[in-house]
Amino acid sequence: MAEIYLGRIVAVGRNQAGECAAMYRVSSRSFPSRRAFLSDTGAAIIPKEGHEGDVFKNPYIAYNCCKLVSGVAVVTNGSHTDPIAEKIAAGMPIRDALALSMLAMDYEHDQLDTPRIAAVVTAGAETGFLAIVRKDGLNVHELPLAKGECYHVSTYEHNDILPEYKDSFNAKSAQECCDYVLGQGVFAEFLNPVSAVCACQSGKGFKIAAKDAEQPS
């Protein structure tokens, strides 16, 4: 398959040991100078040092991209991370938290009408959720996760939740998940990787890791 540019990507998977993961990859042609900042319960995408002024060129490039709440991992490509996580923490079903938050916030009103995307998974679950809101509609889908499988959705090209957007998956840690979405399996075919943030199940909860892609000199 020829290499293609998908923009931002979220994925949800379950490895051969039955451990779940939620993964996020930043891919960008316009703003490659971004990095992930980790905290105990999540992560944010921010400009690298010396590029702080980029937020004035595009307000959508800095945001919380990952939150852990009550044994659930949430990853997204924008500021909808927090409302989704807050609703789940308050007891709302994952499907409803995704649908309500993404419908309320809508797609990003930039020059490209960039969709908002999200992936959510519960530790020990046999299903995971992907969601996307585009200018022309909203899709929230609960997907069966067989061991050794993952599904993805992206802001461009693969911007719908379809059975064929599936790949084999057996990352055993959050760091291995980052390596995977930055350049392994089907993700090796997707152009312009910048950074990855991934949550991988550890016991009854999740551990988070981040990794920046090597940029061409």
Which tens digits make up the pLDDT trace of 159-201? 999 999 999 999 999 999 999 999 999 999 999 999 999 999 9
CATH 3.60.20.20 corresponds to the domain 9-212: yes
Average pLDDT of the chain, as a whole number: 92
The pair phi, psi for residue 209, each rounded to 5°, is -140, 160
Give residue 42's pLDDT: 93
Domain boundaries, the chain: 9-212
What is the distance between the alpha carbons of residues 207 and 46, in angstroms, rounded to a whole number? 20
Using an 8 Å Cβ cutoff, are 61 and 195 in contact?
A: no
**pLDDT over threshold 60, residue 66:** yes
DSSP 8-class letter at 216? P
Give residue 2's pLDDT: 60
The pLDDT-based confidence of 36 (bands split at 50, 70, 90) is confident
**pLDDT over threshold 60, residue 217:** no
**pLDDT over threshold 90, residue 37:** no
Give residue 65's pLDDT: 97
pLDDT tens-digit readout, 87-138: 999 999 999 999 999 999 999 998 899 999 999 999 999 999 999 999 999 9
At residue 189's C-alpha, the angle toward residues 156 and 74, to 5°, is 55
What is the distance between the alpha carbons of residues 60 and 77, in angstroms, rounded to a whole number? 9
